[in-house]
Amino acid sequence: MENQAIANAWTGISSCESCGIRHLALFADLEHDDFELIHKPIMEVNKSTGESLYGEGDDATHLYTVRSGVIKLTHYLPDGGQRIVRLLRTGDVAGLEALVNPTYEHYATVLRDAELCQIPRDVVERLNKETPRIHSQLLARWHTAVQQADEWLTELSTGSSKSRVARLVIGLSDKGDNSCHLFSREDLGAILGVTTETTSRIIAEFKRDGSLKDLGKNHFRADLPKLETIANEN
């Protein structure tokens, strides 16, 4: 019979143990007995495009595993501008800083309708103390965050505006069918550190030269070889 502590730890539709993306998620390495250490509810939440998860400076009470959708992490600049510093997708964790900082360090906003697991900070802290299996996953998540930050700096913050847009489109493209769902021109500009007008002009140019085929509603088919050539230009 299922241990009541495990049952009480999950109030969503499905349990952590049978989660379809568990192999990608923070609890990937946990074993059955580890779930008995969870005594606070892990909620499955749905957020629509434009909704907020948390704001910079808010009390960091939860971590979030992304089950589906896209989350943007944003910093606002002193001049009122904004810069998107990272995109989180399936399997990524938002709010890792909750384990070392009392407040969140970014504004986390949904870019594409998202399903998330909302995990109380206390749950992760207890697991980190009592089972080595969560510790290895936390180290892996920190390492992934550092890698993403490095890639962001090298791929999306250097070179011409045109080459940066090309790299972003490549990164957002499905390598199976070369389809690509882009975000608003404002969000693309905030990711790349260029103006909305510049982003719009470059996307229009890509459509004219065949680098992107417009499928409607910000959905495109990407000519990846052509975009790779542009991405490697100075």
Top pLDDT among 63 and 174 is at 63
User: Residue 40: pLDDT above 80?
Assistant: no
Task: Give me the pLDDT at residue 55, please.
Answer: 95
Could you read off the pLDDT of 174-190 as tens digits, one per residue? 877 888 988 888 999 88
Decide if domain 156-233 falls under CATH 1.10.10.10.
yes
Task: Give me the pLDDT at residue 141, please.
Answer: 76
Task: Give me the pLDDT at residue 25, please.
Answer: 57
**Per-state percent for the chain, helix, strand, coil, to nearest 5:** 40, 25, 30
Task: Give me the pLDDT at residue 172, please.
Answer: 86
Could you read off the pLDDT of 200-215 as tens digits, one per residue? 999 999 999 999 999 9
Alpha helices in the chain, H assignment, sequence order? 4-8, 121-130, 132-156, 161-172, 185-192, 196-209, 224-231
Confidence at 76, pLDDT banded by 50, 70, 90: confident
Q: Distance between CA atoms of 136 and 139, rounded to whole angstroms?
A: 5
Task: Give me the pLDDT at residue 147, please.
Answer: 81
Q: Distance between CA atoms of 8 and 37, rounded to whole angstroms?
A: 11
Could you read off the pLDDT of 125-161 as tens digits, one per residue? 887 777 766 767 777 777 788 888 778 777 888 889 9
Q: Distance between CA atoms of 210 and 121, rounded to whole angstroms?
A: 48
The domain made up of 5-142 has a fold known as Jelly Rolls (2.60.120)
Task: Give me the pLDDT at residue 10, please.
Answer: 42
Percent of the chain with pLDDT over 70: 81
Top pLDDT among 58 and 129 is at 58
Task: Give me the pLDDT at residue 133, please.
Answer: 67
Q: Distance between CA atoms of 15 and 132, rounded to whole angstroms?
A: 21
pTM > 0.85: no
Confidence at 221, pLDDT banded by 50, 70, 90: very high
Residue 20: helix, strand or coil by DSSP?
Answer: coil
Task: Give me the pLDDT at residue 19, please.
Answer: 56
User: Residue 21: pLDDT above 50?
Assistant: no
User: Which stretch, 11-20, 74-83, 127-136, 154-163, has highest mean pLDDT?
Assistant: 154-163
Q: Distance between CA atoms of 182 and 179, rounded to whole angstroms?
A: 10
pLDDT (mean) for 27-45: 64
Q: Where are the domains of the chain?
A: 5-142, 156-233
* Cβ-contact 113, 69 below 8 angstroms: yes
Confidence at 13, pLDDT banded by 50, 70, 90: very low
pLDDT (mean) for 3-17: 43
Q: Do 5-142 and 156-233 show the same overall fold?
A: no
